[in-house]
């Protein structure tokens, strides 16, 4: 027997306060629920920050389950003893608002990991991945991967997202004057939560990131190709 409170549940450690709120009205029986807290399933004490500290308020988070243990009638008041199970998995308001931006950030981290694989696949066309000049390693897989990730991050901070507003100063990037970049937009999670445009904006952001990842790898491979050709020219000149 019991139920789930969908919203915040306001209670008090003072029985007198609870009885004041539960005064019988028009001869009807009132109800006072006495909640048993546990070591884990507890509410937040608000008396230090409350406008009414004398109420000794204890606030429970939404979706708390209340299980009836016993009932007892005392005059016109029904006293119910209950156990409470708090929803310890509930997300904070900020976590809910940030959900899509956080998901997008995870996707970008995954793309950074994919860059290393993409670089290795591209290098198979060249045979050896190391380029040496005068006996020193000038470029190798590790350096090329690092350059690709750096290019990807730079594009995320500079390349404008088409759907981002052009005049919103909140979308200005920290590292430069370029507004509307994907990194700048991600600092405003509400951008992806719009009821009519949120899904479209999120999909566009993922597509934009994929394009920038491909552009970063292409840029690095073009650099590698030029150095590879330069090495060949240098080797031929040395042979002569």
Are 30 and 76 part of one and the same domain? yes
Residue 209 has which token pair? 């990131």
- The structure tokens listed for 123 are 């290098």
SS3 track for 94-140: HHHHCHHHHHHHHHHHHHHHHHHHHHHHHHHHHCCCCEEECCEEEEC
Looking at the structure, tell me whether residues 212 and 135 fall in a common domain: yes
Q: Are residues 42 and 79 in the same domain?
A: yes
How many helices (H) and strands (E) are present in the chain, helices listed first?
A: 6, 9
* Count of other CB atoms within 10 angstroms of residue 181: 26
239 has pLDDT over 70: no
Asked if residue 152 and residue 108 are part of one domain, the reply reads yes
CA 25 to chain centre: 48
User: In terms of domains, do 117 and 232 share one?
Assistant: yes
CA distance 120 to 138: 17
65-69, 82-86, 140-144, 231-235, range with the lowest pLDDT: 231-235
The pLDDT, as a whole number, for residue 165 is: 63
pLDDT band at 237 (very low <50, low <70, confident <90, very high): very low
Which pLDDT belongs to residue 58?
Answer: 92
Is 106 or 142 the better-scoring residue by pLDDT? 106
Q: Are 116 and 212 in the same domain?
A: yes
Q: How much is the pLDDT for 92?
A: 74
Radius of gyration over alpha carbons of the chain, in Å? 31
Q: Given a cut of 90, is residue 7 above it in pLDDT?
A: no
Same structural domain for residues 113 and 230?
A: yes
Q: Is the pLDDT of residue 102 over 80?
A: yes
Which of 85, 117, 132 delimits the end of a domain? 85
pLDDT of residue 12: 93
Tokens of 237: 């000149």
Output the pLDDT for position 170.
Answer: 46
Residues 74 and 103 both lie in one domain: no
Contact 91, 42 (CB under 8 A): no
112 plus 230 within the same structural domain: yes
Q: Which of 160, 215, 161, 167 minimizes the C-alpha distance to 192? A: 161
- Render pLDDT for 175-213 as a digit per residue (tens, 0 to 9): 454 557 888 888 888 888 888 888 898 999 999 999 999
Look at residue 182 in the predicted model and tell me its pLDDT.
83
- The mean pLDDT of 6-10, rounded to a whole number, is 88
pLDDT at 232: 53
Domain that holds residue 178: 93-239
Classify residue 186 as exposed, middle or buried by CB count within 10 Å of its CB (0-12, 13-18, 19+).
buried
Last residue of a domain, one of 85, 117, 139: 85
Residue 166: pLDDT band (50, 70, 90) is low
Q: What is the CATH number of the domain that holds 6?
A: 3.90.176.10
140 and 78: one domain?
no
Overall number of domains in the chain:
2
| Residues with Cβ within 8 Å of residue 28, at least 6 apart in sequence | 76
Q: How far is CA 201 from CA 10, 101, 162, 205, 213, in A?
A: 38, 11, 9, 6, 18
Q: Does 177 share its domain with 99?
A: yes
Query: Are 21 and 68 found together in one domain?
Result: yes
Q: What is the mean pLDDT of the chain?
A: 79
Rounded to 5 degrees, what angle do the CA atoms 100, 151, 208 make? 35
> Residues 32-68: pLDDT tens digits?
989 988 888 888 899 899 899 999 999 988 888 999 9
């Amino acid at each position: 027997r019991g139920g789930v409170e969908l919203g915040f549940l306001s209670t008090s450690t003072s029985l007198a306060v609870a009885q004041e709120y539960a005064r019988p009205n028009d001869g009807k029986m009132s109800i006072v629920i006495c909640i048993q807290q546990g070591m884990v399933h507890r509410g937040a004490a608000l008396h230090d920050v409350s406008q009414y500290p004398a109420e000794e308020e204890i606030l429970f988070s939404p979706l708390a389950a209340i299980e009836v243990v016993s009932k007892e009638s005392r005059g016109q008041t029904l006293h119910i003893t209950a156990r409470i199970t708090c929803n310890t998995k509930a997300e904070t308001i900020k976590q809910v608002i940030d959900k899509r931006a956080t998901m997008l950030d995870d996707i970008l981290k995954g793309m950074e990991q994919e860059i290393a694989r993409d670089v290795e696949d591209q290098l198979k066309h060249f045979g050896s991945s190391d380029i040496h000049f005068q006996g020193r390693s000038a470029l190798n897989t590790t350096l090329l991967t690092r350059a690709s990730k750096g290019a990807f991050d730079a594009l995320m901070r500079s390349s404008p997202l088409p759907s981002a507003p052009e005049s919103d100063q909140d979308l200005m990037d920290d590292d430069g004057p370029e507004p509307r970049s994907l990194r700048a937009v991600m600092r405003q999670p509400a951008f992806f939560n719009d009821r009519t445009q949120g899904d479209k904006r999120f999909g566009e952001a993922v597509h934009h990131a994929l394009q920038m990842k491909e552009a970063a790898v292409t840029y690095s491979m073009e650099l590698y190709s030029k150095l590879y050709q330069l090495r060949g020219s240098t080797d031929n000149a040395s042979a002569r």
